[in-house]
Amino acid sequence: MFVLKVVLIAFSTLAEKPICRLQGRPETPAFSMDGDIIIGGLFSIKAGIVSTTPNFKDLPEPTECKGIQLREFQLAQTMIFTIQEINNSTEILPNVTLGYRIYSVCPNIPSSIRGALNMVNGHEEGDIAETSCTRPPNAQAIIGQSGSSITIGTITTVGPFQVPMVKYVQMLC
């Protein structure tokens, strides 16, 4: 009799529509523009990391960054400029508009993963409150940070979502 009750409860929960709820605190991108195809960008615009001591009573706060890296800011601006140039050309992608979501992340793996997951999952409460849990990602591709270890950590997390990720290489001239 007990097994029958467990089976009935399992089937009744399968029939219910899954409700998705936003977990954690969402972050908004540093720069964004809507388009038909969204390209995500992760740039370490902020330089250092502010160290904090957890108190084990509250939810941990996201990693805080300090300072600014002008080179990373220039790379983010280069991405924006390139997308605008592609959108202004009628020959490159006719009838398609590129958009972008650029996140300013700290130069560490957890911050980069958080930014990438925001691009894949979305960052607005209204996106998933009453809809299906499965939907296409917000960013169709991600341009990762220049650091190899950071990019490897991020792509390992984002890979199952089937979102391609490339990393840029800084050329010193």
pLDDT at 87: 92
Residue type, 49: I
Evaluate whether residue 130 is within a structural domain: yes
pLDDT at 20: 61
CA angle 38, 41, 42 (to 5 degrees): 150
120-127: long-range contacts, CB 8 A cutoff, minimum separation 24: 120/158, 120/161, 120/163, 122/26, 123/26, 123/27, 123/28, 123/29, 124/26, 125/22, 125/26
Distance CA 171, CA 33 (A): 27
pTM of the model: 0.72
172 found inside a domain: no
- Tell me if 11 is assigned to some domain: no
Cβ contact 99:32 at 8 Å: yes
> What is the reported pLDDT for 129?
47
- Distances, alpha carbon 120 to alpha carbons 1, 34, 137, 140, 164, in Å: 44, 15, 5, 8, 11
CATH of the domain at 117: 3.40.50.2300
Phi, psi of 133 (to 5 degrees): -75, -20
Instruction: Give 10-residue mean pLDDT values along the chain (173 residues).
Output: 53 53 69 89 83 76 78 90 92 89 86 84 53 66 82 85 79 60
In a domain, 136, yes or no: yes
For residue 109, tell me if it sits in a domain.
yes
In a domain, 152, yes or no: yes
How far are the Cα atoms of 35, 50, 93, 134, 154 from residue 119, in angstroms, in the given order? 14, 24, 23, 15, 12
Please indicate, yes or no, if residue 25 is contained in any of the structural domains: yes
The tally of domains found in the chain comes to 1
Query: Which range of residues forms the domain containing residue 160?
Result: 20-48+62-166
Asked, for residue 154, whether it belongs to a domain, the answer is yes
Q: Per DSSP, what are the bridge partners of residue 101?
A: 32, 40
Quote the pLDDT of residue 83: 93
